[in-house]
Every structure is written in structure tokens, then in C-alpha cells.
Amino acid sequence: MIPMAMTLTHLGTGSRGNATLLETEHAKVLIDQGFSGAQLEKRLGRLNIHPTEIDFMFISHHHGDHGGGAAVAQKRWNIKVQANHRTAEELGLIPELTHYFESLDMIHVSQDLAVLPVPVPHSGADNVAFIASHNGKRAAIITDLGSWTDELVTHVRGCEHIAIEANYDHNRLMNGPYPYSLKDRISGRGGHLSNDQTGQFLAQVCTPATKSISLTHLSLKNNQPHLAESTVLYHIDEVFTGDISISLQEGPEYSHYIGKSEDLEPTNTLTPTKQ
């Protein structure tokens, strides 16, 4: 029997809310939950999934656009949450429904899904990226970081799929209307990645095993999809030959399949979700 692929679907990414669905044969988990309960139910409904089917929510950090809807989901649907101690405390999560992890502790969700939290620099939060492993294949979900560490490079290198923020175009940010203090925070080590930085990071971690990339968390005021894609491709042109896509605020738009048999469709096939 050919094993089922792991499906990764962004329900939406951006400053107004983030959530990503990971689905295997034996598990359904959310990476982040920054939406209202109504929005989460609506977006999952487009995939014919009800929130009560979610086994766990993994929360990267406590900022509202990533974890602001976690407590609501606990209260409304009794969904269990995986988070580190600071994130759980800041979000006021229900202790009985919360499992606490430490960075770099592998979490075995089911027989075919394990999740590794890896710390990333982000001011004012104990933020983590997540590496999901499924039948020997890996996918990375990385957001809200202004720089990276050697440790993150080590864990992301060779992932079959990489979802990573390309938050801003440097020139647009610096010439835009934001006050200097906000520009400085966004572009700092603990802020967000620019398109150029995202490309530089990907140039270090892409290998022949990397089949697809999704760029996420684009700023509405300081970026444009064509700028993010072209800038990133400039940096990875010699090391990446797979598919690159943009995930925007209104989703879900498509799904990535990680670990799909090459005897069937290509691993990086994108399929429009049901509207």
C-alpha cells in the first residue's frame, strides 16, 4: 500500500491572522491559530473539516495574529494545544487542554507525524519554527523572525517543503509611511525577514530534496507578491528548481503534498481548495 502524503494547507497568512493545516492519514493539526472562532470554522469548512476533527494546535508564539484564537478554540471545541510555557501563559490557555513543550523536543502526534519546535529570534516572544516529519519527509513552517541561527539552518536544510515569511521589501519599508521606530523594529534582528533575507536564508537550506516553497506573511503596505517572488528567486536560482507560491491573507487557496509517491503525481503538486 502506498502511504498517504502529508498535506499542508495555509488557511491564511498575514498580519490579520495565521493558521496552517497539516493533515496525514492519522492526524490533523494546526500550526498557529490567529483567527476568530467563526473564521477558523469557515476556512476549515472549505476543506470539509470541522474544528472538532483537529487533534492538536501548535502555537509558535503569543502574538495575536498567531495565537490570539487558541483559547477560543479550546473553549468552543475542546481542542488541545501544544505551546511553550511563556506562550501558554501570555495567551491564558486552559491548563487541562494544554501540553507544554521545550524547544528541540520532538513531539510525536501520531504514528505518521512528529513535530519539532526550533527557536527563532523574535522580539518580545519565545517564538519557534516547526519542522513536521512524515514517513521520512520533512516540511518547515517558519514565520516572524528578523534573522536566523545556525541551528535553524541545520534543521531546515533538505526539507521537502519550506513555508517561510517574506514580510517586506526593504525599499518600500524604508520609503513608506511608518515611523522610524517601527521601521527599525520590523527590520531588526527580532523583527521580520525582508525578501532579500528570505532569499539568502533559502539559498543556505535548499537542496535537491527541496521540491516546493511557499512565501507567507507578506506585508500589505510594504510588499507585493511579484517583488517577493522575483527577489527570492534571484537568490536561489542556482539551487532550487521546484515550485514557488505565495500564501496571502484570504485562504485557503491550495495545498502542498509532502511525501507523495513519485509513481503518482509530482510531490509538489498544488491543488485548489474547495470554495
Q: Which tens digit of pLDDT belongs to each residue from 13-54?
A: 999 999 999 999 999 999 999 999 999 999 999 999 999 999
C-alpha cell at 34: 490567529
Q: Which CATH architecture has domain 6-261?
A: 4-Layer Sandwich (3.60)
Band of residue 262 on the pLDDT scale cut at 50, 70, 90: low
φ, ψ of residue 225 in degrees (nearest 5): -55, -40
Residue 266 has pLDDT above 80, yes or no: no
Residue 168, SS3? strand
Q: Which residue has the cell 507578491?
A: 225
Domain ranges in the chain are 6-261
- Which residue from 64, 128, 51 is spatially nearest to 92, judged by alpha carbons? 64
Give yes or no for a contact between 260 and 266, defined as CB atoms under 8 angstroms apart. Answer: yes
- Which residue from 152, 171, 213, 217 is spatially nearest to 191, judged by alpha carbons? 217
140/122 Cα distance (integer angstroms):
17
pTM: 0.92
Query: Which distant-in-sequence residues (6+ apart) come within 8 Å of 42 by Cβ?
Result: none
Query: Which distant-in-sequence residues (6+ apart) come within 8 Å of 226 by Cβ?
Result: none
Give residue-wise pLDDT tens across range 87-128: 999 999 999 999 999 999 999 999 999 999 999 998 888 999
| CA 51 to each of CA 181, 210, 244: distance values in angstroms, whole numbers, following the listed order | 39, 31, 29
- For 67-99, b/e burial (b = at least 16 CB within 10 A) is bbbbbbbbeebebbbbbbeebbebbebbeebbe
Give residue-wise pLDDT tens across range 132-187: 999 999 999 999 999 999 999 999 999 999 999 999 999 999 999 999 999 999 99
Give residue-wise pLDDT tens across range 225-254: 999 999 999 999 999 999 999 999 999 989
125/127 Cα distance (integer angstroms):
5
